[in-house]
Structure 1
């Protein structure tokens, strides 16, 4: 049993390479949470959204929604849930799951695992409210 459970654990890579992580972002990008890493990472996401390299949806709590105004101003759709987030996660649909950690990132690029996490998170969009 322990072997089966260990084999099913997603394999996240750890990196501090901001440009490599931003390079993963293309197409639809979903942000979940209330904080998304360093200011440089946030600026990178904003720049990509502004240049239309990515299309952004944000799922956050009502208290944090006003902080997403810069993203909303460049076309992101911001949604809220009455919840308490304790960090953030970024899903590049079909490509990667990115979890900012201090000055670095945990990145998952296994297509099957990314699809599973994306599928689990998708249910929240159906009950979220557009901000």
Structure 2
């Protein structure tokens, strides 16, 4: 694939202007994005937890969707109206309370109108994913 069209600094500036709520009150940090992959970190907060003390499904889905948006934008540039058309998630194990959640995103295919990718969600430093996500984004005409 081609080199990134937006750096992490450019992504953060664009997203904070266009979609600030995606950062969950500064709990989400873009650690890297290179046009093919990205790594996001959601800092631990008790708001992430559901009854029973596990990280909630909606928290994981929102982080995965944002990771896909970041990797797509890093590949195509500042196209605010790129939108999710499909997102599938498999919950694999319990997300541990007290740990940040990492989202490792990767583009599988980038076309003119669609981008397909996957995101592995990790609990803290554990190498074992707590969820696996596949997603498709629609890219509008320029």
Is TM > 0.5 for Structure 1 vs Structure 2?
no
Q: Which structure shows the higher helix fraction?
A: 1
TM-score normalized by the length of structure 1: 0.29
TM-score normalized by the length of structure 2: 0.28
Q: Which has the higher contact order (CA 8 A, sep 6+)?
A: 1
Q: Which structure shows the higher strand fraction?
A: 2
